[in-house]
Amino acid sequence: MLKTETPSSQHPDLDLYPVADLVSALVDDQLEAVSAVRAAAPDLARAVEAALPRMLDGGRLIYAGAGTSGRLGVLDSVELYPTFSWPHERAVGLIAGGAGAMFVAVEGAEDDAAQGGRDLLTVKVGPRDVVLLLAASGATPYVLGALQAAREAGALTLGFANNTGAPVARQAHIGITLDTGSEVISGSTRLKAGTAQKIALNTFSSALMVRLNKVYGNLMVDLKASNAKLLQRAVALTMRAAGCDEAVAMATLQGCDFHVKVAIVAIRLGIGVDTARERLDAVSGSVRQALTSGDPSP
């Protein structure tokens, strides 16, 4: 039996617990998710390094999963645009059962390996793409079908599983095993198995975006200011990174469509926003290099 399906030896009388103890048991078990991701950190680092050249070459991140895993993949793909201005068309989320499965479970969809392959072909997967295959069991047919199609197309494949020796991790170019073991509620992989996947996806995509110059220091300077909260965040980030007051930050941001990177370089160097944008374009969007005339060392 898969570890994720094996009944836990802890808390066999969970249904008898007082609410306070019940909540504590569920929360405490989540700590194992962090440990599982920490153990997989070397493989996550390998995945980032392998994915980077393909992203620099214009490739896409394509996520494929079923159920909870599929929803977590879609979530990661969707959040890359507001956080890092990563283009919508370069972050594709596929879930067994189609878009509607995000909201209503589509029974049996995960068992269709052929559909997994067809979905990858529908989005025209190619050799510049990076495909993240997500399955707690590591053997979901839909995901394995997507994996086969991705490999045949020459894409880089990253297999995420919560069971050791799982097919999706073995057959992918890089396997990332998040060994979370049995669940407090037996078989409910939306618990710590899902938590571990969320952490791993956050870690992978965020590290990749740092390497793609979406971050300056530890500031998210390439966000898309698409609502009031993010507009305020853009102003605060500009003030912090450029060492200016709110009025200067706001005026400069308004002149460059609230592109924080451009505003920082313009204010710090005392140049116009068009010139600042040109400097950034010349150094692949690196704020650090734009501020130092291409010298990456400071």
pLDDT at residue 295 in the model = 47
Amino acid at residue number 2:
L
CA angle 250, 279, 204 (to 5 degrees): 80
The per-residue pLDDT for 107 is 80
Q: Where are the domains of the chain?
A: 14-211, 228-291
| CATH among 3.40.50.1010, 1.10.8.1080, 3.40.50.10490, 2.30.30.40 for 228-291 | 1.10.8.1080
Radius of gyration of the chain (CA): 22
With 50 as the cut, is the pLDDT of residue 29 above it?
Answer: yes
Q: What is the 3-state secondary structure (H, E, C) of the chain?
A: CCCCCCCCCCCCCHHHCCHHHHHHHHHHHHHHHHHHHHHCHHHHHHHHHHHHHHHHCCCCEEEEECHHHHHHHHHHHHHHHHHHCCCHHHEEEEECCCHHHHCCCCCCHHHCHHHHHHHHHHCCCCCCCEEEEEECCCCCHHHHHHHHHHHHCCCEEEEEECCCCCHHHHHCCEEEECCCCCCCCCCCCCCHHHHHHHHHHHHHHHHHHHHCCCCECCECCCCCCCCHHHHHHHHHHHHHHHCCCHHHHHHHHHCCCCCHHHHHHHHHHCCCHHHHHHHHHHCCCCHHHHHCCCCCCC
Q: How confident is the model at residue 145 (pLDDT cuts 50, 70, 90)?
A: very high
Condensed to tens digits (0 to 9), the pLDDT of residues 248-266 reads: 999 999 999 999 999 999 9
pLDDT tens per residue, range 40-60: 999 999 999 999 999 999 999
202-213: average pLDDT: 98
Query: For tokens 């919508």, what's the residue?
Result: 88
CATH for the stretch 14-211? 3.40.50.10490
Active site residues: 79, 110
pLDDT digits (tens, 9 = 90+) for 76-90: 999 999 999 999 999
Task: Compute CA 164 distance to the chain's CA centroid, rounded to the nearest angstrom.
Answer: 22
Amino acid at 156: L
What pLDDT was estimated at residue 297? 40
